C-alpha cells in the first residue's frame, strides 16, 4: 500500500526543466495546450526549484509544480486491445 505524498500526488509527464515557465510533455517535447493549475494555491509557484507537474488528490486533481525528485506515483498510458 502506498502512503503519504506518494498516494496523493501523481506525475503527469509535464515539465519546465528545459525552460522555466514553458511546460512540455516529456514523451513528445510538445508544449501543453491544456492546463489545470490549482487556482486556490496559485500554481505554478515553484520557480526553478519545482519543474515537474503532479495531480493533487487533496486539491481536486488540480495541477501543482513540485521538485522532480519528490517521490510520487506515475500515470502510464497503455493501448488496450
Query: Could you list the residues that contact Ca ion (CB under 5 A)?
Result: 16, 51
Q: How far apart, in Å, are the Cα atoms of 45 and each of 2, 12, 79, 80, 81?
A: 26, 17, 34, 36, 40
8 A C-beta contact, residue 71 and residue 50? no
Q: How far is the CB of 3 from Ca ion (least distance, A)?
A: 27
Give the residue with the Cβ less far from Ca ion, 5 or 46. 46
Nearest to 77 by CA among 21, 9, 28: 28
Q: How far is the CB of 63 from Ca ion (least distance, A)?
A: 12
Give the residue with the Cβ less far from Ca ion, 53 or 59. 53
Give the residue with the Cβ less far from Ca ion, 16 or 59. 16
**DSSP 8-state class, residue 30:** P
Q: How far is the CB of 31 from Ca ion (least distance, A)?
A: 14
Amino acid at each position: 500500500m502506498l502512503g503519504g505524498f506518494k498516494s496523493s500526488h501523481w506525475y503527469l509527464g509535464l515539465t519546465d526543466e528545459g525552460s522555466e515557465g514553458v511546460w512540455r510533455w516529456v514523451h513528445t517535447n510538445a508544449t501543453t495546450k491544456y492546463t489545470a493549475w490549482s487556482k486556490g494555491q496559485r500554481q505554478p509557484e515553484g520557480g526553478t526549484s519545482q519543474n515537474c507537474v503532479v495531480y493533487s488528490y487533496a486539491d481536486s486533481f488540480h495541477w501543482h509544480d513540485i521538485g522532480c525528485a519528490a517521490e510520487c506515483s506515475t500515470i502510464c498510458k497503455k493501448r488496450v486491445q
